[in-house]
């Protein structure tokens, strides 16, 4: 079994495909849903508008949009 640090908070965890601990994974899922919902409601919103309006990190929004 491999042990790694969560790439988000640094907590020591057993390795997972996402390289995130359970709490960061849950948080990321919530942020993904928030971004998807915002983009469905505002299809013409720019990338920066999505970041500012949802409060989700640039990296997460970028991974969803690109
Ligand atoms: Zn974490």
Query: What is d(CA 51, CA 10) in angstroms, rounded to the nearest whole number?
Result: 24
Please tell me the distance between residue 10's alpha carbon and the centre of ligand 1 in angstroms.
6
Whether the CB-CB separation of 18 and 3 falls below 8 Å is answered with no
pLDDT of residue 65: 77
pLDDT of residue 66: 62
**Model confidence band, residue 33 (pLDDT cutoffs 50, 70, 90):** very high
Whether the pLDDT of residue 26 is over 90: the answer is yes
pLDDT of residue 64: 85
Residues whose beta carbons lie less than 5 angstroms from ion ligand 1? 6, 8-9, 11, 21, 24
Please tell me the distance between residue 42's alpha carbon and the centre of ligand 1 in angstroms.
30
User: For all residues of the chain together, what is the average pLDDT?
Assistant: 93
Q: What is the pLDDT of residues 35-62, one digit of tens each?
A: 999 999 999 999 999 999 999 999 889 9
Cα radius of gyration (the chain): 14
Please tell me the distance between residue 44's alpha carbon and the centre of ligand 1 in angstroms.
32
């Amino acid at each position: 079994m491999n042990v790694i640090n969560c790439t988000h908070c640094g907590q020591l965890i057993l390795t997972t495909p996402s390289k995130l601990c359970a709490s960061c994974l849950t948080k990321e899922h919530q942020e993904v849903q928030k971004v998807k919902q915002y983009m469905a409601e505002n299809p013409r919103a720019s990338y920066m508008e999505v970041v500012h309006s949802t409060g989700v990190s640039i990296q997460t929004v970028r991974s969803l949009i690109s």
